[in-house]
Amino acid sequence: MGMTRDRSDIVPALVLGLVIVVMILVPLKIIGYGYLPEDDALRHAAKAVSGKSWDQILVTRSEAVMDNHPAWHGILGFLHHSMGWGTDSLVVFSVVTLFAVFCLVPVIFLFRPEAWPLTLLILFLTDISLVKRLLYGRPYIMSMVAVAVICLVWPRLKENRPPYKPAAVIAFFTALAAWVHGSWYLFALPVACFFLARERRAGTIVALSCLYGIIIGALCTPYPFLFLKQNIVHLCLAVGNSTLQRMLVTELQPFTGDVLTVMAVLGVLAWRYMRGAWDRKAVDNPVFILIVAGWILGFVSKRFWFDWGMPALCVWMATEFQEFFDKKVDLYSWRRAIIAVVIASTFYIAMTNDAGGRWTNNLTIEYLSADNPEQAEWLPEPDGIVYSDDMTIFYETFFKNPKAPWRYMLGFEAALMPPEDLAIFRKIQWNYSAYQSFAPWVEKMRPADRLILRRSFGEKPNIPGLEWHYAASGIWIGRPPRQPQPAK
């Protein structure tokens, strides 16, 4: 576009600065409510503080021989020892840092950064869970960042110049994702989408870059080959030891299609057509094909959609808005700055308001803690085992008691249990936690062990052989009856 009379060379810097500030303020504001994620971020922080290996925390089967996230736990452990941070501070670090990384790295590659918060705002409105996942403080976000980077830099692989820089960028972020998160094998999905889009040269470069990145990431762990192998073993255990799909952890279960987001994508395509800018390449490209592939595979496991399709969707939608802004709004005009302020402020307000208590629901949680004298008597004794049918018992109790001298039968993945205990747990799931299905665990419980169930105050578990105590809001603790002390 030609230059306008209201041109100002400081506008691009102001817009970029505004986007950066908002992307940092959003997680800080949400954390300021007292928000904490509900699952793995808690156990990652507790793992770092505990100083223990997983077999000292969980009762595990022989195949589970290595930590799947050694790098992430190493980072958190370093912060714990060097800064003195406890579990709460480590979770805050995880939430703020990983959200900021996903929201700021793509801005580096966009010459219209205001397109990024506009994209996130639209996706937040169509399905809050898509953007809310960015605030879970879990290392899978680094894989999402790597996918976004691949989608952003791949057009440079089509240029005639040597592709060293974009290939190196892809390799770097893939290495970071493989090192921090694992799940390295899933990078085969975006690579396959390049060949489906007939972008063979770019696909080959992406494949080699990802391969180099995965090797580098593995080499940064203490045991590279075991690290690569353990990720495959964990996958096979997680998806291969359940009879019904509802027995899988929630995020591995299939989704229902995310219809509103599909409608948003169709709306963007219709908008392109109505403004006379239709181009087949808008959909015939690796990024859009990755969106479609992630959506289809979401009917197998929603993680394909959340972690692979959604980052591609963010990039595709942002580049659509970027193209429109580039044609309609001068890069240096104050009109652009006003538009950016409206977009960024709306995104900030929409994300940080506490509608329905979405950021404060956790404030009413009552945790079990060995520091609470009333609860301590009923918590497991040294070398005891916590039995439960609810993973949140593990997340919350381990989070508040990272150095406790007991272990958990059910942790963050049921398939890590010893086979005989996994069979008992699957039977409990099959019977929707009917009380009689807990009998095999009750029979094997020792005096140091506890069965902890999430039930309402008026629903004392009807499980013979245990004495029960309502220890916290919605939590009952059962223990084997204590032998009466002989009279003196």
Q: What are phi and psi of 89, to 5 degrees?
A: -65, -35
Q: What is the pLDDT of residues 150-207, one digit of tens each?
A: 999 999 998 878 899 999 999 999 999 999 998 899 999 999 999 999 999 999 999 9
Residue (of 139, 228, 129, 143) closest to 190 by Cα position: 143
Q: For position 3, what pLDDT does the model report?
A: 45
Q: For position 404, what pLDDT does the model report?
A: 97
Per-domain boundaries in the chain: 11-246+326-357, 365-479
Q: For position 131, what pLDDT does the model report?
A: 87
Q: For position 418, what pLDDT does the model report?
A: 94
What pTM was estimated for this model as a whole? 0.92
Share of the chain above pLDDT 90, in %: 82
Q: For position 242, what pLDDT does the model report?
A: 66
Q: What is the pLDDT of residues 255-264, one digit of tens each?
A: 888 999 999 9
Query: Can you tell me the mean pLDDT for 458-471?
Result: 94
Partner residues linked to 475 by β-bridges:
454, 472
Mean pLDDT of the chain: 92
Q: For position 334, what pLDDT does the model report?
A: 92
Which of 272-288 are b and which e, b meaning 16 or more Cβ less than 10 Å from the residue's Cβ? beeeeeeeeebbebbbb
* Beta-sheet strand order (sheet of 385-387): 407-408, 385-387, 450-454, 475-479, 467-472
Query: Can you tell me the mean pLDDT for 49-78?
Result: 90
Query: Can you tell me the mean pLDDT for 243-253?
Result: 79
Query: Can you tell me the mean pLDDT for 103-117?
Result: 95
| Interatomic CA distance for residues 131 and 306, integer angstroms | 9
Residue 2: pLDDT band (50, 70, 90) is very low
Q: What are phi and psi of 409, to 5 degrees?
A: -75, -45
Query: Can you tell me the mean pLDDT for 23-39?
Result: 95
- Between residues 7 and 63, which one has the greater pLDDT? 63
Query: Can you tell me the mean pLDDT for 272-297?
Result: 95
CA angle 389, 393, 397 (to 5 degrees): 150
- For 112-128, give the DSSP string: STTHHHHHHHHHHHH-H
Residue 4, pLDDT above cutoff 50: no
Q: For position 6, what pLDDT does the model report?
A: 54
Query: Can you tell me the mean pLDDT for 4-32?
Result: 89
Cα–Cα distances in angstroms (integers) from residue 477 to residues 262, 328, 388, in the given order? 45, 63, 10
Query: Can you tell me the mean pLDDT for 136-154?
Result: 96
Residue 1: pLDDT band (50, 70, 90) is very low
Residue 13: pLDDT band (50, 70, 90) is very high
Share of the chain above pLDDT 70, in %: 96
Q: What is the pLDDT of residues 361-409, one digit of tens each?
A: 999 999 999 999 999 999 999 999 999 999 999 999 999 999 999 999 9
Q: For position 175, what pLDDT does the model report?
A: 96
Query: Can you tell me the mean pLDDT for 348-362?
Result: 94
The owner of tokens 């506490």 is 354
Query: Can you tell me the mean pLDDT for 38-54?
Result: 95
Residue 5, pLDDT above cutoff 60: no
> How many CB atoms lie under 10 A from the CB of residue 104?
16
Residue 286, pLDDT above cutoff 70: yes
Q: What is the pLDDT of residues 401-441, one digit of tens each?
A: 999 999 999 999 898 999 999 999 999 999 999 999 999 99
